[in-house]
């Protein structure tokens, strides 16, 4: 069963004005992604998703040229061999590029989908796991910058769906961030409130908001600073009593080894569509397990979310599943047949279908060809 073809499709979906959410990296005006289709010589098709990295046309081109040339003809079940081939000839020799890590993620994900389909097993079982309940939080592109009253209405809808945890977007200004977090905590004393600043804070901002986040008993503050600003993370950790989270913008186990060694971030958030795929996420989870650190994967879009739920069902140190609760997300609702139901305990389970367990609407891909321009303004 050899890889006979690999095709990456850049996909773009504009977001209507009334569904545009503002957060620390801007206001979302369109959703981009890269869908990767891998076909074997005996006709099995695997699907994966590469993060757009704000350059989805370039990511797709990298898959369709260099990476396809490197691994076509490989045994499709040899996921470690494919990963090593790309690492040797691209990452190791030309630098730890984020574009290559994102591009190879989609290929790796599709190969795991093929393995599951070939044997008839769901991905979680193939990874050595079981169908088990995974706690979820309402996240993704939602709960953004808005007046506290409007935010409370949105939180109420998440709680009604069964979520016991939600993630608020910070980074507008210290004053407005404090007001929103305080309002949610006052209204929901028992809710697990997580926060994400999307790298928008300075240390001065952090010093201002930290006492209030502590008083609100937030579960974590995610990415207050850029991913590699280790000094700011060290200083921040020394002045707060809540956990710092990060990892969605770290690539491969080699960068996660540095992140773990820095001992500032204790909530690790690899993204399967960025970090190097499912293969790399499993290695990172094992590294983290040795340090008693939990894995709370970052996820959104569509195929990536479905695969993430399987991975969290398979690893021993799984934390929260990030459920994208955007009101408008065709990559979740129309591109694939994935849906998540939250039970009374705020938990979810992966699909029992073979592989990742999703069907892909190729007509949707054809009618939403990727185009250039920023996703956030």
Spatial strand order of the sheet with 45-50 comes to: 3-14, 30-40, 45-50
129 and 83 co-located in one domain: no
Is residue 302 domain-resident?
A: yes
CB of 353 closer than 8 Å to CB of 327: no
User: Which residue from 97, 163, 135, 127 is spatially nearest to 282, judged by alpha carbons?
Assistant: 127
17 and 136 co-located in one domain: no
Q: How many domains does the chain have?
A: 2
As a whole number of angstroms, the distance between CA 258 and CA 266 comes to 13
86 and 217 co-located in one domain: no
111 and 135 co-located in one domain: no
Pair of tokens at residue 92: 């190791």
What pLDDT, on a 0 to 100 scale, did the predictor assign at position 96? 59
55 and 185 co-located in one domain: no
Is residue 376 domain-resident?
A: no
Q: How many CA atoms lie within 13 A of 111 on its CB side?
A: 30
Strands 243-246 vs 321-324: parallel, antiparallel or unpaired: unpaired
Give me the tens of pLDDT residue by residue for the chain, a chain 377 residues long: 999 999 999 999 999 999 999 999 999 999 999 999 999 999 999 999 999 999 999 999 999 999 999 999 999 999 999 999 999 999 888 765 799 999 999 999 999 999 999 999 999 999 999 999 999 999 999 999 999 999 999 999 999 999 999 999 999 999 999 999 999 999 999 999 999 999 999 999 999 999 999 999 999 999 999 999 999 999 999 999 999 999 999 999 999 999 999 999 999 999 999 999 999 999 999 999 999 999 999 997 899 999 999 999 999 999 999 999 999 999 999 999 988 889 999 999 999 999 999 999 999 999 999 999 999 99
CA distances from 39 to 58, 72, 353 (A): 22, 10, 19
Is residue 356 domain-resident?
A: no
What pLDDT, on a 0 to 100 scale, did the predictor assign at position 39? 98
As a whole number of angstroms, the distance between CA 10 and CA 75 comes to 26
162 and 197 co-located in one domain: yes
40 and 154 co-located in one domain: no
Is residue 163 domain-resident?
A: yes
What pLDDT, on a 0 to 100 scale, did the predictor assign at position 301? 85
Count of positions (residues) in the chain:
377
As a whole number of angstroms, the distance between CA 57 and CA 169 comes to 28
Q: Which domain holds residue 70?
A: 3-121
Compute the Cα dihedral for 91, 95, 100, 105 and give only its sign: positive
CB of 165 closer than 8 Å to CB of 192: yes
Is residue 96 domain-resident?
A: yes
CA distances from 149 to 23, 145, 153, 164, 203 (A): 17, 11, 7, 20, 28
319 and 195 co-located in one domain: yes
Last residue of a domain, one of 104, 121, 138: 121
Pair of tokens at residue 164: 């016991």
CB of 70 closer than 8 Å to CB of 89: yes
113 and 70 co-located in one domain: yes
65 and 179 co-located in one domain: no
113 and 136 co-located in one domain: no
Is residue 144 domain-resident?
A: yes
104 and 210 co-located in one domain: no
Last residue of a domain, one of 67, 91, 121: 121
CB of 76 closer than 8 Å to CB of 38: yes
Residue 277 burial (CB count, 10 A): 31
CATH number at residue 269: 3.20.20.120
Last residue of a domain, one of 68, 95, 121: 121
Is residue 358 domain-resident?
A: no
What pLDDT, on a 0 to 100 scale, did the predictor assign at position 1? 96
User: Which residue from 193, 197, 195 is spatially nearest to 184, judged by alpha carbons?
Assistant: 193
CB of 179 closer than 8 Å to CB of 209: no
Predicted TM-score (pTM) of this structure: 0.96
CATH number at residue 78: 3.30.390.10
Is residue 364 domain-resident?
A: no
């Amino acid at each position: 069963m050899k890889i006979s073809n690999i095709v990456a499709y850049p996909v773009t979906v504009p977001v209507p004005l009334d569904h545009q959410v503002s957060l620390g990296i801007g206001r979302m005006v369109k959703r981009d992604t890269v869908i990767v289709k891998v076909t074997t010589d005996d006709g099995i098709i695997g699907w994966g998703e590469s993060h757009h990295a704000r350059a989805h046309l370039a990511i797709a081109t990298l898959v369709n040229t260099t990476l396809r040339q490197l691994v076509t003809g490989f045994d499709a079940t040899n996921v470690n061999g494919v990963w090593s081939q790309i690492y040797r000839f691209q990452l190791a020799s030309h630098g730890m590029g984020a574009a290559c890590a994102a591009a190879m993620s989609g290929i790796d994900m599709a190969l795991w989908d093929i393995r599951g389909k070939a044997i008839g097993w769901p991905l979680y079982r193939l990874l050595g796991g079981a169908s088990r309940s995974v706690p979820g939080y309402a996240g993704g592109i939602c709960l953004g910058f808005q007046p506290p009253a409007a935010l409370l209405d949105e939180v109420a809808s998440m709680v009604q769906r069964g979520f016991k945890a939600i993630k608020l977007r910070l980074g507008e200004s210290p004053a407005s961030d404090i007001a929103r977090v305080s309002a949610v905590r006052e209204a929901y004393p028992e809710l697990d409130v997580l926060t994400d600043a999307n790298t928008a804070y300075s240390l001065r901002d952090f010093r201002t908001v930290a006492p209030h986040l502590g008083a609100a008993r937030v579960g974590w503050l995610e990415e207050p600073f850029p991913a590699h600003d280790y000094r700011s993370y060290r200083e921040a950790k020394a002045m707060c009593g809540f956990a710092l989270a990060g990892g969605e913008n770290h690539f491969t186990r080699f960068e996660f080894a540095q992140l773990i060694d820095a001992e500032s971030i204790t909530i690790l958030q690899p993204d399967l569509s960025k970090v190097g795929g499912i293969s790399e996420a499993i290695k990172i989870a094992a590294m983290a397990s040795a340090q008693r650190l939990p894995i709370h994967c970052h996820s959104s879009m569509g195929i990536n979310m479905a695969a993430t739920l399987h991975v969290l069902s398979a690893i021993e140190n799984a934390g929260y599943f990030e459920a994208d609760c955007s009101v408008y997300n065709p990559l979740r609702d129309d591109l694939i047949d994935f849906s998540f139901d939250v039970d009374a305990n705020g938990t979810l389970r992966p699909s029992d279908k073979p592989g990742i367990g999703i069907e892909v609407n190729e007509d949707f891909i054809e009618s939403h060809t990727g185009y250039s321009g920023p996703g956030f303004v």
